[in-house]
């Protein structure tokens, strides 16, 4: 993928990370990370970029913890802990690295394999984004 494609695909994830880190995150911010985590795990399984399974597992744990706190504190923002912020930032960096090593065709195949976990709305959004670049 071109650097522009990678920037486009990582844009929502970066915005969601910023929102979560500043106490403005929502459950939609977490969904961005959940879906990116599914894609990252699928990339890991293909072998194009390997060695990130433990980081993906750590992301999933952090998402679960943040989601639980969001449900418990409906009255106010959820403040992230330092290690959670580090996990989100690290994930953004390594997912960008993963995507930069894929062709558009490889990415499309990965999305097909991960399809049921991602939902049709995300597939449509990605296709429109890449077509309109």
Domain positions in the chain: 3-131
**What pLDDT does 127 receive?**
60
pLDDT at position 21: 95
Cβ contacts of residue 96 below 8 Å, gap of 6+? 6, 10
- CA 133, CA 128: separation in Å to the nearest integer? 9
Residue indicated by tokens 């939902």: 119
Q: What angle (nearest 5°) sits at the alpha carbon of residue 50, between those of residues 19 and 2? A: 60
* Positions of the chain with pLDDT lower than 50, given as ranges: 133
73: left (phi over 0), alpha (psi -120 to 50) or beta: beta
Alpha carbons 68 and 119: distance in angstroms, whole number = 23
pTM score: 0.84
pLDDT at position 49:
84
Per-residue b/e over 27-38, b at no fewer than 16 CB within 10 Å? eebbebbbbbbb
Q: Are the CB atoms for 13 and 36 separated by under 8 Å?
A: yes
Query: What pLDDT is attached to residue 26?
Result: 87
Report how far residue 112's alpha carbon sits from residue 106's, in angstroms, rounded to the nearest whole number. 10
């Amino acid at each position: 993928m071109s650097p522009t494609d990678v920037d486009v695909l990582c844009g929502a994830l970066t915005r969601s990370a910023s929102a979560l880190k500043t106490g403005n995150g929502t459950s939609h911010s977490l969904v961005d990370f959940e879906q990116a985590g599914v894609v990252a795990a699928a990339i890991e399984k293909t072998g194009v970029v390997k060695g990130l399974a433990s980081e993906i597992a750590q992301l999933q744990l952090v998402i679960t913890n943040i989601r639980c706190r969001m449900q418990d504190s409906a009255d106010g923002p959820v403040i992230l802990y330092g290690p959670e912020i580090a996990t989100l930032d690290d994930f953004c960096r390594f997912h960008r690295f993963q995507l930069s090593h894929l062709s558009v065709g490889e990415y499309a195949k990965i999305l097909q394999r991960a399809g049921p976990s991602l939902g049709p709305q995300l597939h449509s959004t990605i296709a429109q984004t890449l077509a309109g670049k």
